[in-house]
A and B are shown apart, each in its own frame.
Chain A
Amino acid sequence: MLYALSTCQWCHKTKVLLEELGIAFDYEYVDLLEGKEQDSAMDSVERWNPSGSFPTLVIDNKRAIVGFREQEIREALAA
Chain B
Amino acid sequence: MNVPEITEMAIDAGYRTLKADAEKNGYRLNPDEEFVKNLIRGLLKNEQRYGYRACPCRLASGKKEEDLDIICPCDYRDADIEEHGTCYCALYVNEAIASGKQKVAPIPERRPPRSERGKYPAVKIVSTTAMPVFPLPVWRCRVCGYLCAREQPPGVCPICKASKERFERFV
Contacts and interface: CB of A to CB of B under 8 A. Distances in A.
A7 B107 CA distance: 17
B118 interface: no
Given A52-B114, A69-B106, A7 B46 contact: yes
Given A52-B114, A67-B108, A69-B106, A9 B56 contact: yes
Interface in A27-41: 30-31, 38
Interface residues of A, number: 21
B45 A7 contact: yes
Contacts of B57: 5, 7-11, 54
Contacts of B41: 7
B58 A54 contact: yes
A5 B106 contact: no
A31 B56 CA distance: 10
B81 interface: no
Nearest to B60: A31
B38 A42 contact: no
Contact of A8 (B42, B107, B113): B42
Interface in B17-69: 35, 38-39, 41-43, 45-46, 56-60
A53 B38 contact: no
Contact of A9 (B39, B59, B114): B39
A74 to B, nearest CB: 15
Interface string A43-79: 0001000111110000000000001110000000000
B143 interface: no
Interface of A: 5-12, 30-31, 38, 42, 46, 50-54, 67-69
